[in-house]
Structure 1
Amino acid sequence: MSLLKTAIATADTEQQAAHALFIKSRCDASGMDVASYRCVIGAMVRLGEAVSSRGPAWRNDHEFVSALIDLECDLHTKLKQINELTNTVMVGISLINENTRVEHIDALYASLDLLRPARDRVIGALNRVIAAPEELTETYAVCYRHVRAGRKLPYRGRFISGEIVA
């Protein structure tokens, strides 16, 4: 795959936008207070357009918190890919000399023009998702920090109500 095609694929954040939209649709279906998932909405806005998606209501609190963490991991992975390719492009630019073909130089700069705004989009979305514990209701903030620290929530329990679902 050519450098420019790789940059186009790497700069594409539609999958992450669709992931955030799916989480939002499940929050909507669950009847959650919008303030509880505004971090997801903020991430969606920063990532750009996504194909409309409808999901079922969350079966339990663990699903919601896990989905937020999955989105955060997805965004970290995308940012790593963008940064690695940007570094490769920058090395290529530093090696330009009088023997470098014009097409190659154009591809390097065009790749950089795609990767920089993609990096900004992903960082913006990531910052919104990382802010989730502070934006979630007090109960969800505790859940989020608990799971993010590597601990598990009750498998079939409802963290908010304390109810055990059979």
Structure 2
Amino acid sequence: MSLLQIAIDTADTSEEAAIAALIMSRCHASGLAAAAYRCVVGAAINLGLNEGLRGPAWRQDVEFVGALIDLECDLFAKLQHINRVIAQIQYEWANTPNIPENAAYFHALQAAADVLGPARGRVTAALNRIIRAPEELAETYAACYRHVRAGRQLPYRGRFISGEITV
């Protein structure tokens, strides 16, 4: 497989976009306020939002947090992979003799770098959004904690954010 094809495959973020879109749909199905998952929305947009996926509501908050952690790990691994391929391109560029016979190879290396540069930017931006999730979730849940500290109760067997009672 050519380095250009490796770069194209590495730059593909459709799988990560699908995961982010599924997390978004599950948040929506759970009735969460959009502010509670804006980090996922931002990540999905950066990755190339893949709409159309629908998932069930989160049964527990811990499922949502677990999905965020998994997505963060996936994005970090993707960024590492992109950086390894970029390093390989740079190594090839530096160690290939600059002679006319290698002109096509240099063009292929440049094309591979041109594919990976924007991909690295997209993945970095998405990762930065997901990394901010704990702060954003804390803001969302802070209202619930203030409610409880004031001596009030959350709905029994209800949705944590919307207050909708389920039977």
Give the structure-2-normalised TM-score: 0.80
Deviates more, 1:55-64 or 1:99-108: 99-108
Which runs of 5 or more residues in structure 1 are unaligned? 142-157, 162-166
Residue 122 of structure 2 aligns with which residue? Answer: 121
What is the alpha-carbon root mean square deviation over aligned residues?
2.0
Alignment of 1:84-95 (within 5 A): 84-95=84-95
> How far 1:106 moved relative to its partner?
1.2
The letter for the 1-side match of 2:89 is: V
1:38 matched to 2:38? The reply is yes
Residue 99 of structure 2 aligns with which residue? Answer: 98
Residue 150 of structure 1 aligns with which residue? Answer: none
Residue 155 of structure 1 aligns with which residue? Answer: none
- Deviation string 1:112-136 (CA, Å, 9 cap, x unpaired) is 0000100000000000000011111
CA–CA separation in structure 2 for the residues paired with 1:86 and 1:16: 20
Alignment of 1:61-80 (within 5 A): 61-80=61-80
CA–CA separation in structure 1 for the residues paired with 2:141 and 2:22: 19
CA–CA separation in structure 2 for the residues paired with 1:54 and 1:61: 18
- Change in Cα spacing, 1:121 to 1:104, as seen in structure 2 (3 Å) is same
Residue 147 of structure 1 aligns with which residue? Answer: none
Which runs of 5 or more residues in structure 2 are unaligned? 143-157, 162-167
> How far 1:140 moved relative to its partner?
5.6
- Cα contact 2:16–2:47 (8 A) shared by 1: yes
- Cα contact 1:13–1:47 (8 A) shared by 2: yes
The secondary structure found in structure 1 opposite 2:10 is helix
Identical aligned residues as a percent: 53
Residue 132 of structure 1 aligns with which residue? Answer: 133
1:83 matched to 2:90? The reply is no
The structure with the largest alpha-carbon Rg is: 2
- Cα contact 1:21–1:50 (8 A) shared by 2: yes
Q: Which runs of 4+ in 1 moved over 6 A?
A: none
Deviates more, 1:128-137 or 1:70-79: 128-137
Residue 164 of structure 2 aligns with which residue? Answer: none
CA–CA separation in structure 1 for the residues paired with 2:50 and 2:31: 22
Residue 47 of structure 1 aligns with which residue? Answer: 47
- Change in Cα spacing, 1:100 to 1:61, as seen in structure 2 (3 Å) is farther
CA–CA separation in structure 1 for the residues paired with 2:34 and 2:51: 21
Residue 112 of structure 1 aligns with which residue? Answer: 113
Aligned residues, how many? 144
CA–CA separation in structure 2 for the residues paired with 1:57 and 1:81: 32
The secondary structure found in structure 2 opposite 1:45 is helix
CA–CA separation in structure 2 for the residues paired with 1:139 and 1:37: 9
- Cα contact 1:65–1:140 (8 A) shared by 2: no
Give the structure-1-normalised TM-score: 0.81
